[in-house]
Amino acid sequence: MPASASPISDILLTEAQIRRRVSALGAAIAADYAGLDPLLVGVLRGVIVFMADLMRAIPIPFTVDFLAISSYGAQVRPGQVRLLKDLESSIEGRHVLFVEDMVDTGLTLHTLLRMLNERRPASLHVCTLFDKPRLRLVKLPLRYVGFELPDRYVVGYGLDYHQQYRNLPFVGALSAQVLLPGAAPEDLAS
């Protein structure tokens, strides 16, 4: 396939880089939560690839549960969350680790943490694989961060663009051809 036809303009993180970082995150989480029987909570669907790898990197007992919310770009204001699927377990008195794929403005996470805190967990911390700190609109405590990313739209390793590209084993920036399909090639600077 010619380079210009590739949907990915450049690879930001390789499969090996992600694998090494996820292993390190798992080891840190296992050390901090030993004996606490933590509950890992993820938001469907972007987190599934990270969660599947992270779980296998945590060699202590824990349980896992998922929420589903209305997706990014849906007809809601930023930070406004519509719960499509609630947790199946009670989190009262549990040590909860909220596992995120990506935090950018932080508005979604802020809303979800407030909701979960009302359920009185013993503790509530966040592990995000990707962080875009330059886009943050609310202050959020992130206990574990995999990688800081620049302000670019990325796909792969569970992250999508219109539900596509989640299966890429690396993280890449989408080419302008995909993001701006109507633009003439001479208008696309990079």
Q: Which tokens go with 174? A: 């989408």
Q: Does 84 bind ligand IMP (CB under 6 A)?
A: no
Cis ω before 20 (30° cut-off from 0): no
- Retrieve residue 170's tokens: 């690396």
The whole-angstrom separation of Cα 121 and Cα 141 is 16
DSSP 76: S
- Nearest-CA neighbor of 79 among 103, 58, 95, 101? 103
Residue of 10, 104, 131, 187 with catalytic role: 104
Kindly state whether residue 146 participates in binding ligand IMP, applying the rule CB under 6 A. no
Interface pick for ligand IMP out of 38, 42, 106, 146 (rule CB under 6 A):
106
Tell me if 8 contacts ligand IMP by CB under 6 A.
no
- Which residue in the set 105, 119, 166, 176 belongs to the binding site for ligand IMP (CB under 6 A)? 105
Write down the H helix ranges in 74-124: 107-117
* 108 versus 175: smaller Cβ distance to ligand IMP: 108
| Binding string, residues 41-80; x marks residues near ligand IMP by CB under 6 A | -----x-------------------------x--------
Q: What are phi and psi of 51, to 5 degrees?
A: -60, -45
List Cα–Cα distances, 116 to 122, 146, 157, 177, in angstroms: 11, 23, 26, 40
**104 in active site:** yes
Q: Does 153 bind ligand IMP (CB under 6 A)?
A: yes
Closest distance to ligand IMP from the beta carbon of 37 (Å): 26
101 binds ligand IMP (CB under 6 A): yes
Q: Which residues bind ligand IMP (CB under 6 A)?
A: 46, 72, 100-109, 153-155, 159
Instruction: Name the residues annotated as catalytic.
Output: 104
